[in-house]
């Protein structure tokens, strides 16, 4: 290596070290700046956990038996509605005396 190449290499290394030192000095500033955002994220996460726990406890309280009972009642109501609709259709058809 020539003397000039050694000088360029040393200059490059010194510039890289200076840039590295500047980057390291900015880290605490960035951390201080990011702390409020990190705190808000942590609070939001804790709120989401509490909401999930609340939802789980509600589901446990109502249980699947309540859901099954509601579904059975809905099915019975649908059957009753179908029967009444069929009766109405029959009345309308008889009223026309078979005429369409």
Structure tokens at 22: 């500047």
The reported pLDDT for the residue numbered 99 is 62
Rg over alpha carbons for the chain, rounded to the nearest Å, is: 38
Please give the model's pTM, rounded to 2 decimal places. 0.42
Three-state secondary structure readout of the chain:
CCHHHHHHHHHHHHHHHHHHHHHHHHHHHHHHHHHHHHHHHHHHHHHHHHHHHHHHHHHHHHHHHHHHHHHHHHHHHHHHHHHHHHHHHHHHHHHCCCCC
The reported pLDDT for the residue numbered 61 is 75
pLDDT tens-place values along the chain, 100 residues long = 898 999 999 999 999 999 999 989 888 888 888 899 999 999 999 999 999 999 888 877 777 677 788 899 999 999 999 999 999 999 998 887 656 5
Closest CA to 1 of 13, 16, 18, 10: 10
């Amino acid at each position: 290596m020539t003397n000039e190449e050694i000088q360029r290499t040393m200059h490059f290394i010194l510039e890289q070290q200076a840039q590295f030192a500047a980057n390291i000095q900015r880290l605490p500033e960035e951390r201080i700046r990011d702390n409020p955002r990190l705190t808000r994220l942590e609070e939001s996460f804790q709120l989401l956990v509490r909401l999930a726990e609340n939802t789980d406890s509600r589901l446990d309280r109502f249980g699947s038996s309540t859901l099954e009972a509601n579904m059975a009642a809905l099915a019975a109501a649908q059957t009753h509605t179908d029967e009444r609709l069929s009766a109405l259709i029959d009345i309308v058809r008889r009223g026309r005396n078979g005429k369409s």
